[in-house]
Copies of this chain bind each other. A is one copy, B any other.
Amino acid sequence: MTGGEFDLIGRLIGVGWRGSRQVLLGPGDDAAVLRGGIVLSTDVMVEGIHFRPGWITEAELGFRAVAAGLSDLAAMGAEPLAVLLSIVVPGRGEAAVAIQEGAAEAADRAGATVVGGDLSRSPGPVVVDVVSVGRTQRPVLRSGARPGQDVWLSGALGGAAWAVTSWEAGDVPEKEARHCFARPPDRTRLGIELGKGGLARAMIDVSDGLGADLGHVAAASNVGAVLRLPDVPVVPGLPGGLNRGLDGGEDYELLFAAESGSRGAIARLSAATDTPLHRIGQFVEGGGVQVRLADGRSLELEGGGFDHFTPRIVEG
């Protein structure tokens, strides 16, 4: 992985955590799991880092923040129960109401409800922190991938990053790109079904970028991964095509490992949940992520993905 945020998160995990008989799974996965199967995750969005003023409405911000938060539960195969929302806003705080309305809509879509939160004024940027609470008796971890298993991906990548690029260039994003950013997909049902049947052996949501998140799964599982770039689905019309899909980040699609014998079952689940599912690679012995290009060449993926603490270098 790249340095910066990932290193820092690694250090934080080391600091906070001590074993507890109340806790089945501590920090380091998409969410923590308490005894009894309660799944917990937080996801913070900061104005100026995750979005800029004027990109989306306040209601869309609330929606996006909660959709992103609940994506962590989907990646554990957990049923969402409740959401708590901490909102930090400048001025008189009126923005908080619209943020909360959007948040409630995203929670509703996934079958959860907003049960509380906190509110503060701030001299600085808007911050929305979403706490997602779910439940599963069988959490799907990042660490279950084994050599020979397929790499699967839901939906298509690159839409959110496409919108960001347009905004950053001073343009108005294409409608589809804006939609990807403002209304991330709800993969709740897919995640639950993948977990319930034991179909997904390892799972993560694509928030740091496909390359980085596949790297997280490979590292947690102590295996390597081969990614077939031409097989990675990207949103139609995406400029820059596959590379953008690889490192864009914040798509909130599900990336998972499954046995090759499960291909038929996964195709049926794709139809039943009306969700495109693509086989985009394979887990292998070793470590790291290898990317197979259309011309047959192979690249070792060094880093990539969205990292708030390290300047991003995108290689074309």
**Nearest Cβ in chain B — how far from A81, in angstroms?**
5
Query: Is A294 close to B, CB under 8 A?
Result: no
Most chain B CB within 10 A, of A31, A44, A114, A129, is at A129
The answer to whether A49 and B84 touch across the interface, beta carbons within 8 angstroms, is no
Complex copy number for this chain: 2
The answer to whether A124 and B121 touch across the interface, beta carbons within 8 angstroms, is no
Q: Which of A3-11, A172-180, A215-223, A242-250 contacts B (4 or more CB under 8 A)?
A: A3-11
The answer to whether A121 and B49 touch across the interface, beta carbons within 8 angstroms, is yes
The answer to whether B32 and A119 touch across the interface, beta carbons within 8 angstroms, is no
Cα A101 to Cα B48 in complex, Å, equals 27
Cα A8 to Cα B89 in complex, Å, equals 12
The answer to whether B40 and A100 touch across the interface, beta carbons within 8 angstroms, is no
Q: How many residues of A contact B (CB 8 A)?
A: 71
Q: Which residues of B contact A131 (CB under 8 A)?
A: 40, 42, 84, 131
Q: Which residues of B contact A113 (CB under 8 A)?
A: 16-20, 22-23, 26
The answer to whether A5 and B123 touch across the interface, beta carbons within 8 angstroms, is no
Contact of A116 among B32, B48, B114 (CB under 8 A): B32
Q: Which of A90-98, A225-233, A282-290 contacts B (4 or more CB under 8 A)?
A: A90-98
Most chain B CB within 10 A, of A40, A85, A116, A309, is at A116
**Nearest Cβ in chain B — how far from A297, in angstroms?**
35
Query: Is A38 close to B, CB under 8 A?
Result: yes
Cα A36 to Cα B88 in complex, Å, equals 30
Cα A104 to Cα B18 in complex, Å, equals 9
The answer to whether A88 and B46 touch across the interface, beta carbons within 8 angstroms, is yes
Cα A231 to Cα B82 in complex, Å, equals 41
The answer to whether A100 and B34 touch across the interface, beta carbons within 8 angstroms, is no
Contact of A31 among B22, B40, B92, B116 (CB under 8 A): B116
Query: Is A57 close to B, CB under 8 A?
Result: no
Given A42-B84, A85-B16, A122-B127 contact (CB < 8 Å)? yes
The answer to whether B100 and A12 touch across the interface, beta carbons within 8 angstroms, is yes
What 3 pairs between A and B have smallest CB-CB spacing?
A124-B124, A16-B114, A32-B115
Q: 19 A-B Cβ contacts within 8 A?
A: A12-B87, A12-B97, A15-B100, A23-B115, A26-B115, A27-B117, A40-B84, A42-B116, A42-B117, A45-B120, A46-B124, A48-B124, A49-B123, A86-B86, A120-B308, A121-B308, A123-B125, A124-B124, A124-B125
Residues of A within 8 A of B (CB): 4-5, 8-9, 11-12, 15-20, 22-23, 25-27, 31-32, 34, 36, 38, 40-50, 81-88, 92-94, 96-97, 100-101, 103-104, 107-108, 113-125, 127, 129, 131, 133, 308-309
